[in-house]
Structure 1
Amino acid sequence: MQPEYGDVVRHDTFPKLLLHNAGGWPGEVAMREKEFGIWNEFTWADYRDRVKEIALGLIELGVKRGEVVSFIGKNRPEMVWSELAIHSVGCMSLGVYHDAMPQEVAYLVDYAQVRVVLAEDEEQVDKLLEVAENSKSIEKIVYFDPRGMRKYHDPRLVSWDELKAMAARLEAREPSRFADEVALGKADDVAILCTTSGTTSNPKLAMLQAGPFLGHCAAYLGADPKLPSDNYVSVLPLPWIMEQIYAVAQPLICRITVNFVEEPETMMADLREIGPTFVLLAPRVWEQIAADVRARMMDATRFKQKMFELGMRLGLQALDQKRRSWLAELILFRPLRDRLGFTFLKSAATGGAALGPETFRFFQAMGVPLRQIYGQTELAGAYTIHQLDDVDFDTVGLPFGDTELRIDQPDKNGVGEIVARTSGMFLGFYRNEDATRADVRDGWMYTGDAGYIKKENGHLVVIDRVKDLATTSTGTRFSPQFIENKLKFSPFIAEAVILGHDRPYLAAIICVRYSIVSKWAEQRSIAFTNYTSLSSQPEVYRLLREEVEKVNATLPEPQRVRKFVLLYKELDADDGELTRTRKVRRNVIAEKYADIIDAIYGDTPKVHVDTIIRFQDGTTSRIQTDLVVEKLLDTGPAAASAGRPASAERAA
């Protein structure tokens, strides 16, 4: 039976849907938050009341319709309440990633001319006060968590209690003010300024209108239905477009309960307690879960290891035959799903970057209904998804009902740029008409991604960014992302960057997964002191060599990795090497590690590193080490050109 959803035509803004839900189901649980080990519940009436208090407080602080108001913090009910309050008073919300560095925050608030910021706690207040010293715009900082705030006496700071008192005074003077403000909202109001991933430069701000955005979310629910009795656990950053859909917009339409974990470190334990019916996790999280499962087996008894291997083999064989293995279910998958908190899952999704087919198959074999989604911030997030009975590991599924897509200028194999439009398509980039004109032509969004439509089932296949598709100097075309995802299926590899564009052969920079490789080393009494020391151990190089060789065996000869180095540090978003959604910034890697890359393609067996790394707390550390250039295969002219050049689409 098709579930009954909120009418997004009649209730065409976020606050209008909130008032509709609070009026019709005031006692129904809308949110839960775990704090000090206890799950606190908030009903739709609570949700409305908190939003009203913040909205009226913002008015008292002098916020005007059409302004940009920002919020920053971990995934908490207060952050969602803040966003709805911002919309309620006719302003545009700008979410900032909670782990953003001060310079990133400064860029966003100054660019959007933000006068008022709603912050979670002391950590964010410290960051904002540092920014405010040189900011041309910040006037007020509202904070919700008072812990540690007694020592602050800055006139720009406003506590949650002070804001509520201001709201109460305004409501006493004008009892209908909140409802009047909500009623002024229109479908074509820009509600959200959502940051793009910013893989090459500072992020742009996509202007998303309330009505079209909600309409697209309703189309999403048509492809992946949800009920008020369902549960979702919010763990991905709230400013990300997909969390805006899953934790903010869709719950307003379908009344699914949103659960907020206590801390990122308690996510898996909290997942098990809730037993969600829906989850959305980034590829890096699915990769980490898969790696953790295999790492735990390293500590298990030989009998359990054999049972795991048998269960996985039977499960994967059954998956290939489009069935389930009752024996694998009995000895492995049922208890494993329970352990992970996946027992009640109806649907699980991954998006934001590509997920390797091996990781995809691992969870599908386990019985996790994992599906790939694909989209862009500018098109209101995802617009393709697999159907539960039609999952193709090499694709991102079929488009939603409100979506049109085509392949622009396909080559002889059908590969070209993916071009799309949805009912929720953005209005343009905030204060950046040139960028809007560059990406949008004749009402279509040119995504910059290369792909094709599979003839057998009509699914969309995404290969890589068009600009990232690479060709060696010998003419071999390849997709770095595809090979990187195959490498990251290894429990020992956290990140990988494939090199080879305009070079004679492929090579890799690899970051070990410290939590697992360190355990592996301890079991073998290998001495190390830190990440740099661990990654330089000969035994670790031998281990990673075996992992790369496994991947090489699955690749065409010209696309095999012939050399690699283990980097002395993890790639980090704070260092600009990754985006906040963990996408590799290839231009930064090429520039920052140019000496290492040149050494890989030279004849030197080692490259000396003498550098300073800066930690998030401002402290620095000097690193002096020698990186071994591990050679796997012959790199001479004959080897580099061996085999017929394979196209990127065949690799992907």
Structure 2
Amino acid sequence: MARKRNQKTTPDYADIGRFDTFPKLLAYNARTYPTEVVMREKDFGIWNAFTFADYQRKVRQYALGLRALGIQRGDCVGLLGANRPEWVWGEVAAHAIGATSLGIYKDVLGEEAAYLIQYAEITAIICEDEEQVDKLLELGDDIASVRVIVYCDPRGMRKYDDPRLISEEDLCARGDALDQAEPGLYEAEVEKGQGDDVTILCTTSGTTSKPKLAMLQSAPFLRHCLDYLHADPKCPGDDYVSVLPLPWIMEQVYVVGQQLIARNVVNFVEDEETTMADLREIGPTFVLLAPRVWESIAAEIRARMMDSTPFKRFMYDLGTKIGLKALEQKRRSWFADAILFRALRDRYGFSFLTSAATGGAAMGPETFKFFHAMGVPLKQIYGQTELSGAYTIHRSDDIDPETVGIAFDQAEVRIDRPDEQGVGEIVGRSQGMFLGYYRNEDATNADKRDGWMYTGDAGYIDKRTGHLVVIDRVKDLANTSTGVRFSPQYIENKLKFSPFIAEAVILGRDLPYLAAMICIRWSIVSKWAEQKNIAFTNYTNLSARPEVYALLRDEVERVNETLPEAQRIRKFLLLYKELDPDDGELTRTRKVRRGVIAERYAREIEAIYADRDAIDVDTTITFQDGSTARIQTQLRVETLLPPDDPTTRQAAE
């Protein structure tokens, strides 16, 4: 899909002081730039383009259609499904008639969906397809507030007769009919909207409990998006590929807020499995990917090298070594680029990148350095849902893999109650400060004080660079029983740089030494096993193989060499399943819920510290469709260093 790249260097941003809501800003863009392409969606292998005129027409139809169905100002409209243009149209349409919007992750289980729908009192939900409709209909009376369920994909829907169901086509037809009956109604509703109206209810990550709903207002949100654009500019015509879930605050920033201000093009992939191929076709100008995605790409690259010829492996090792050495000297190696990195950038669609970002969780410095050596202009961002997403970022000429950069021009960061090393709680504020948590005044008062957001994250300001360094959650920083202080997240990120490790949980709080529970990366370890002619049947069986334990032992020992002696991993075991959001072990943004892990794997943790060599497991796991499976296996506890190694005591002293 070859196109001339955007050459504009001076962004021309919209006047968000005058157009202070999404619908007002969209109407201005549709009047001023009606033929400008702003969205593409791949469907059956074809990229379908949508202009600002198309965007405005659809939002108008959706808004008036919802109004015709009885949705009023002050109601809440839910959005459930994959990233699609219809998702965005539905959100802006809800705001146009004075309703709030709440995005729900497409892979939520029924219980999670019911909680959010009940809590926000959602009256209408716009769904992607039959799968999401089934999820809602199964909830029955648990979602009594829902009066309208709109489905966008009609395939498989003929068999349903629920009176709440309506097709997207019918919704648009009702909108057109109301538009003809009451000309000017849409414009009048849009003008009623004010910038200080609460328009977005956005779920927090919920690492310790059920997610809270942050109340965000249009004008502060748009001002914050503009502040972000000043720190990391985008121009009309720049391409962005929407990969991360739209309910996440940063995808709201990139796909909705920044797009309406900067008029860049948002591209929606055909399917999750085609993401990398579609990304290569687009060749985006900027991307935002979660750390786990960057880690997966790095792991895939190294896994492909396992399948290649000895000569290619030699060239990969040589190119990587030279590229990383050049990076240490703050330069790029033309030789490494020629023999390796240029081809890698082309393969993954990174050839035209002018900006790349990662956020939502910490990224290991090794992964960050690898992509910079490749020539990917990767920047770390940091923020919270409550502050409308990121408010710190690396500047293009000031990159540090150990930090998350500096605050935006209109944002501030400080450290509260720092210790002797300057480490304390990170406190921030931005123009996008949330109004409060929906129906939760106590939590609002606890987190938002005197105009500042108390993040619960531990960090410090690097005195040399002025950059913010994020260490871990304050509550997750821990000490062993011997007095060794450590950050679980820091060590976990080092482990996840390995292509064979998908997730890791570091143990050791109030215990004698550090240990790890590790999940293998199935796609790569299974390929490795096939190459080694190792027989296996499934994930559980493969993770228990002695050859896999030997492989992972090498990986953990490699990480141990980079850690202080007192913080080295003494023991580890390989879990019989992947950590999963559906089991409550991870949040929907893939953050570890340590409380759940400690409770669910209490027997495994006890076995590690009781000096047992193995533990029998007999448990049941739940799949996304609600079905269950029984797992019976034996977990082996691998000892790397003697638990009573004197270096532990010496380092602690």
Say whether the fold is shared (TM-score over 0.5). Answer: yes
SS in 2 for 1:308: helix
Residue 86 of structure 1 aligns with which residue? 94
2:413 equivalent in structure 1: 405
1:137-152 equivalent positions in 2, closer than 5 A: 137-152=145-160
Q: Which moved more, 1:152-161 or 1:499-508?
A: 152-161
Contact 1:557 1:642 (8 Å CA) reproduced: no
1:448 to 456, 463, 484: 456
| Aligned residue in 1 for 2:198 | 190
Whether 2:614 is the aligned partner of 1:606: answer: yes
1:482 partnered with 2:490: yes
Give the superposition deviation at 1:618.
2.5
Structure 1 residue ranges without an equivalent (≥5): 646-652
Q: Which residue of 1 aligns with 2:189?
A: 181
1:462 matched residue in structure 2: 470
Q: Partner letter of residue 113 of structure 1? A: E
1:243 maps to amino acid = E
Distance (Å, rounded) in 2 between the aligned partners of 1:624 and 1:605: 17
Q: In the aligned structure 1, how far is the partner of 2:254 from the partner of 2:123?
A: 28
Aligned with 2:16: secondary structure? coil
- Post-superposition offset of 1:637: 6.5
CA distance in 2, matches of 1:593, 1:26: 56
1:45 alignment counterpart: 53
Aligned to 2:374: 366
Q: Is the 1:13–1:186 Cα contact (8 Å) retained in structure 2?
A: yes
**1:590-601 to 2 correspondences below 5 Å:** 590-601=598-609
User: Would you say how many aligned residue pairs link Structure 1 and Structure 2?
Assistant: 645
SS at match of 2:205: coil
Pair 1:573-2:590 in alignment? no
> Scaled by the length of structure 2, what TM-score is found?
0.98
Quote the residue 2:80 is aligned against.
72
Match of 1:648 in 2: none
Are 2:279 and 1:264 equivalent residues in the alignment?
no
The two structures have a TM-score, normalised by structure 1, of 0.98
Q: Match of 2:332, as an amino acid? A: R
Q: How far off is 1:384 after superposition?
A: 0.3
Q: CA deviation at 1:459?
A: 0.2
CA distance in 2, matches of 1:399, 1:583: 23
Paired letter, 1:305: R
**Alpha-carbon deviation of 1:644?**
4.2
Query: Which residue does the alignment assign to 2:3?
Result: none
Q: Which of 56, 60, 63 in structure 1 is aligned with 2:68? A: 60
Residue pairs, 1:489-500, within 5 angstroms: 489-500=497-508
1:639 CA drift (Å): 4.3
- The code of the aligned residue for 1:262 comes to E
Query: Of residues 369, 380, 384 in structure 2, which corresponds to 1:376?
Result: 384
Match of 2:648 in 1: 640
2:126 equivalent to 1:118: yes
Q: CA deviation at 1:191?
A: 1.0
Give the superposition deviation at 1:133: 3.4
Cα offset, 1:68, TM superposition:
1.1
Query: Aligned with 1:641: secondary structure?
Result: helix
Aligned match of 1:100: 108
Stretch moving more, 404-413 or 582-591 = 404-413
Shift of 1:2: 3.4
**Which residue of 1 is the match for residue 306 of structure 2?**
298
What are the superposed Cα offsets for residues 77-136 of structure 1, whole Å, 9 maximum, x if unpaired? 000000000010011100000111110000000001111111111011001111233223
Whether 1:285 aligns to 2:293 is: yes
Residues 398-437 of structure 1: pairs in structure 2 closer than 5 A: 398-437=406-445
Larger displacement relative to structure 2 (154-163 or 254-263): 154-163
Equivalent position of 1:129 in the other structure? 137
- Distance in 2, matches of 1:342 and 1:379, equals 30
Q: Is the 8 A contact 2:516 2:569 kept in 1?
A: yes
Looking at structure 1, the residues matched to 380 and 365 of structure 2 have their Cα atoms a distance apart, in angstroms, of 10
Provide the rounded CA distance (Å) in 1 between the counterparts of 2:141 and 2:623.
Answer: 22
For 1:12 and 1:619, locate their aligned partners in 2 and report how far apart those are by CA, in whole Å. 46
C-alpha distance in 1 between matches for 2:76 and 2:626: 30
- State the AA in 2 paired with 1:79: W
Q: Which amino acid aligns with 1:16?
A: K
Q: Secondary structure at the match of 2:287?
A: strand
**Residue identity in the other structure for 1:318:** A
Please state whether the residue corresponding to 1:83 is helix, strand or coil: helix
**Which residue does the alignment assign to 1:649?**
none
Secondary structure of 1:613 counterpart = strand
CA distance, structure 2, for counterparts of residue 618 and residue 377 of structure 1: 29
Q: Please say if residues 404 and 420 of structure 1, whose CA atoms lie closer than 8 Å, have aligned partners that are also in contact.
A: yes
Q: Is the 8 A contact 1:132 1:138 kept in 2?
A: no
Q: Deviations over 1:197-217 (max 9, x none)?
A: 000110000000000000000
Query: Which segment is superposed worse, 618-627 or 129-138?
Result: 129-138
Deviation sequence 1:173-205 (CA, Å, 0-9, x none): 111111111111101011100000000110000
**Residues of 2 paired with 1:398 and 1:442: CA distance?**
22
1:69 to partner: Cα distance: 1.0
Letter aligned with residue 46 of structure 1 = D
Q: Closer, same or farther in 2 for the Cα pair 1:562/1:637, shift >3 Å? A: closer
**CA-atom RMSD in angstroms:** 0.8
Please tell me the residue identity of whatever aligns with 2:393.
Answer: I
Which of 343, 347, 351 is matched with 2:355 structurally? 347
Query: What is the DSSP-based 3-state SS (H/G/I as helix, E as strand, rest coil) of the residue aligned with 2:293?
Result: helix
> 1:357-399, CA deviations, whole angstroms, 9 ceiling, x for partnerless residues?
0000010000000000000000010000001111001000010
Per the alignment, residue 395 of structure 1 pairs with: 403
For 2:155 and 2:433, locate their aligned partners in 1 and report how far apart those are by CA, in whole Å. 41
Rounded to whole Å, the distance in 2 between the matches of 1:147 and 1:224 is 41
Q: Contact 2:290 / 2:358 at 8 angstroms: preserved in 1?
A: yes
Give, in whole Å, the separation in 2 of the partners of 1:555 and 1:356: 13
Query: Does residue 34 in structure 1 map to residue 42 in structure 2?
Result: yes
Q: Give the Å deviation of 1:613.
A: 1.2
- Map Cα deviations across residues 331-379 of structure 1 (whole Å, 9 max, x no partner): 0010110001000000000000000000000100000000000000000
Work out whether residues 58 and 172 of structure 2, in 8 Å CA contact, stay in contact via their aligned partners in 1. no
Q: Work out whether 1:163 is the aligned partner of 2:134.
A: no
Instruction: Tell me the SS of whatever aligns to 1:221.
Output: helix
- Deviation, 1:564, is 0.3
Tell me the residue number matched to 2:552: 544
Per the alignment, residue 225 of structure 1 pairs with 233
Provide the C-alpha distance between the structure 1 equivalents of 2:321 and 2:630, rounded to a whole number of angstroms: 46
In 2, the alpha carbon distance for the partners of 1:637 and 1:39 equals 60
| 1:396–1:462 contact (8 Å) kept in structure 2 | yes
Find the partner of 2:17 among 9, 12, 17: 9
**Aligned residue number for residue 583 of structure 1:** 591
**Aligned residue identity for 1:574:** D
Residues 199-244 of structure 1: per-residue CA shift (max 9 Å, x gap):
0110000000000000000000000000012100000000000000
Cα offset, 1:263, TM superposition: 0.6
Following TM superposition, by how much is the alpha carbon of 1:137 offset from its aligned partner in structure 2, in angstroms?
A: 1.1
- Residue in 2 aligned with 1:386? 394
| Paired letter, 1:24 | T
SS of the aligned residue for 1:133 comes to helix
State the secondary structure of the residue aligned to 1:642: helix
Query: In 2, Cα distance between the equivalents of 1:486 and 1:290?
Result: 13
Letter in 2 for 1:548: V
Q: Which amino acid aligns with 1:236?
A: L
Q: Percent identity?
A: 67
Contact 1:471 1:477 in 2 (8 A): yes
Q: Find the partner of 1:20 among 28, 31, 37.
A: 28
In the alignment, the residues of structure 2 paired with residue 59 and residue 97 of structure 1 have an alpha-carbon distance, to the nearest angstrom, of: 25
Q: Gaps spanning 5+ residues in structure 2: where? A: 1-8
SS at match of 1:197: coil
Pairing 1:438–2:446 present: yes
1:182 aligned partner, one-letter code: V
1: distance between equivalents of 2:93 and 2:625?
Answer: 32
- CA distance in 2 between counterparts of 1:368 and 1:404 reads 28
SS in 2 for 1:227: coil
